[in-house]
Amino acid sequence: MKFFGNTYRYFFILLLASYSYVNTAYLETFDYYGITEPKLYIWLTFLLIVALVWEGNRLLEKRIIFGKSERKSKIHPLLILFAASLILAAAAGWLAFYTMSRLVSGQEKELFAVEAKLSTVFALRVNLFLQCLNGIIFYINRSKQKELEAEALRRTTTQAMLQAIRSQVNPHFLFNNLNVLSALVMTKNEEANEFIEAFSSVYRYILNHQEEELVPLQQELDFLGPYIFLLEKRFGQGVRIEKDIPESYKSYYIVPIALQILFENAIKHNIVSVHHPLVIQVFVDQNDHIIVRNNLQKKTPDEASTMTGLSNISKRYELTMGREIRIQQGQDYFEVALPLIQKVPV
């Protein structure tokens, strides 16, 4: 909500001018300085000063707070607005007095100077009052915006976790992995135990990190270990995972479960077979992005994509870091680039 651009600003201008006039008259300020102009003339001067100060600040606010200046300057936009408004208010006070004084003749030269000073000082005081109100409303709005963003992030993160859990507990996933487990139990008990441990590790990680916004990359990679184990047991040589992550990047942070969702996305939309293995590469580029790339061998017909997973990851990055993910598709590959950050934002 814009303070100076408020829909009811003309009513507030009238109210503030009238209140200021009544308050000044009650203190007998006009008698003290020997001001004898008609009361209507004085009230109109008050009204013109308030209107000029308010409308002038509205134009400045539009340019400084909501325009390009806020993004370019390192100085807080409220400070820039206040500094500019001082010049505006002084000019508005003098201009209002000069305009109204043309309607009344016969002022003494000495009295003329006093009234000009009073008008300028009044304009500066009105400006200070309005700037204080604007600052309060500005921070209230920013606080509400942060709350809305935090709530949106919580909802998005919850949706991502639920999606990850659903992808693991859907009937196809359970059926396929239970078949694998059944075969292992009948042949190799040791591998069956490993499979069960990996299976439980996947769920444990998702449940333990469902409330977190960011996790260390090393932690996410550790989670991929048992998940990749399940994929390899299910698809055998039909899927191949290639990871090349330098140690220096493993302390960076990433959105949790993001890599697993990208793996699921690749498997869902591509052929996975021994004769046409799906190769998923995970590496870091020079721009501090972790890349998940797979060779493109779409199913025929391809399963319709809702883009839910990618959209979810994108929203979480935008809300958490203010960053964007990059999606790129070539003739024979599909890749998604996720930004990495060195420190968790406070």
DSSP bridge partners of 240: 279
The pLDDT score that the predictor gives to residue 70 is 47
Could you tell me the domains of the chain?
9-145 (no CATH), 170-339 (3.30.565.10)
Cα(13)–Cα(19) distance, integer angstroms: 10
The pLDDT score that the predictor gives to residue 167 is 53
The pLDDT score that the predictor gives to residue 95 is 81
The pLDDT score that the predictor gives to residue 111 is 55
Pairing status of strand 278-284 against strand 239-244: parallel
- For residue 163, how far is the Cα from the chain centroid? 23
Does the reported pTM lie above 0.75? no
Q: Taking each helix axis from N to C terminus, what angle separates 308-321 and 258-269, rounded to the nearest 10 degrees?
A: 160
pLDDT tens column, 67-115: 554 455 577 878 888 888 888 888 888 887 777 777 665 454 555 677 7
pLDDT tens column, 23-43: 888 888 877 777 777 788 888
The pLDDT score that the predictor gives to residue 177 is 57
Pairing status of strand 333-339 against strand 289-295: antiparallel
The pLDDT score that the predictor gives to residue 173 is 53
Residues of the chain with pLDDT under 70: 1-2, 65-73, 103-112, 158-193, 195-196, 199-200, 203, 207, 210-211, 301-308, 344-346
Cα(79)–Cα(234) distance, integer angstroms: 62
What does the H/E/C string look like for the chain? CCCCCCCCHHHHHHHHHHHHHHHHHHCCHHHHCCCCCCHHHHHHHHHHHHHHHHHHHHHHHHHHCCCCHHHHCCCCHHHHHHHHHHHHHHHHHHHHHHHHHCCCCCCCHHHHHHHHHHHHHHHHHHHHHHHHHHHHHHHHHHHHHHHHHHHHHHHHHHHHHHHHHHHHHCHHHHHHHHHHHHHHHHHCHHHHHHHHHHHHHHHHHHHHCCCCCCEEHHHHHHHHHHHHHHHHHHHHHHEEEEEECCHHHCCCEECCCHHHHHHHHHHHHECCCCCCCEEEEEEECCCCEEEEEEECCECCCCCCCCCHHHHHHHHHHHHHHCCCCEEEECCCEEEEEEECECCCCC
Distances (CA, A) of 310 to 190, 208, 263: 37, 22, 11
